[in-house]
């Protein structure tokens, strides 16, 4: 049972969620925290969705080109299989994972691991995205980051889609999305 190590007084795990809009620095913050884990000589496993190959097939890469090695996976249950005997688990683009990602993160934390998760909290329409609301609900620590609105210069919390195509998931960068504040995003919907 997962609770047994806690009852024996061993290390306790927790879940950190880094969220916000596109271009807010979520992946950059995830990479920064994971590099500090390396400096501390802690063992980490890092995961990302296999279909997200925008910058690299293997590495997690931020928009400012910071990068760290990761393991691309197709479903969240794989994390439980691959994250054995580690201190920290990093997960990027959590909004793209299946409905078991929150359960997987909870299981890892109960095993005494620090779990750091980054993802979009809202989609391009300003609606909760994927399993992020569930991850935010069970998180011990939440960091919400903001970009700068390209229209007015205020804080941006919306990943505004510049083209009218695709469903909720449409992989892209600055060619398709731009950060906007709530007001500037609403003006062009």
118: tokens are 């980054």
93 catalytic? Reply is: yes
CB neighbours of residue 42 within 10 Å:
13
Degrees, nearest 5: CA angle 180-59-72:
100
Closest CA to 65 of 75, 73, 55, 57: 55
31: tokens are 């990479």
In contact, 48 and 60? CB cutoff 8 Å: yes
73: tokens are 């996976």
Which of the residues 57, 93, 106, 173 is marked catalytic?
93
| Phi/psi-derived region of residue 85, left when phi > 0, alpha when psi is between -120 and 50, beta in every other case | left
Q: Which spans in 40-176 are helix H?
A: 77-82, 101-110, 132-138
Active-site residue numbers?
93
């Amino acid at each position: 049972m997962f609770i047994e190590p806690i009852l024996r007084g061993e290390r306790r795990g927790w879940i950190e969620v880094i969220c916000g809009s596109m271009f807010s620095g979520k992946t950059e913050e995830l990479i920064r925290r994971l590099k500090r884990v390396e400096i501390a000589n802690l063992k980490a496993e890092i995961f990302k969705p296999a279909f997200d190959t925008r910058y690299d097939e293997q590495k997690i890469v931020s928009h400012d080109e910071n990068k760290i090695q990761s393991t691309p996976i197709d479903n969240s249950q794989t994390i439980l299989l691959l994250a054995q005997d580690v201190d920290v688990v990093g997960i990027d683009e959590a909004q793209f994972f299946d409905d078991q990602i929150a359960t997987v993160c909870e299981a890892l934390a109960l095993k005494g691991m620090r779990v750091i998760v980054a993802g979009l909290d809202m989609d391009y329409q300003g609606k909760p995205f994927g399993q992020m609301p569930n991850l935010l609900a069970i998180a011990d620590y939440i960091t919400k980051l903001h970009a700068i609105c390209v229209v007015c210069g205020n804080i941006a919390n919306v990943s505004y889609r510049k083209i009218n195509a695709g469903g909720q998931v449409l992989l892209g960068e600055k060619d398709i999305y731009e950060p906007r504040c709530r007001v500037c995003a609403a003006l062009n919907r």
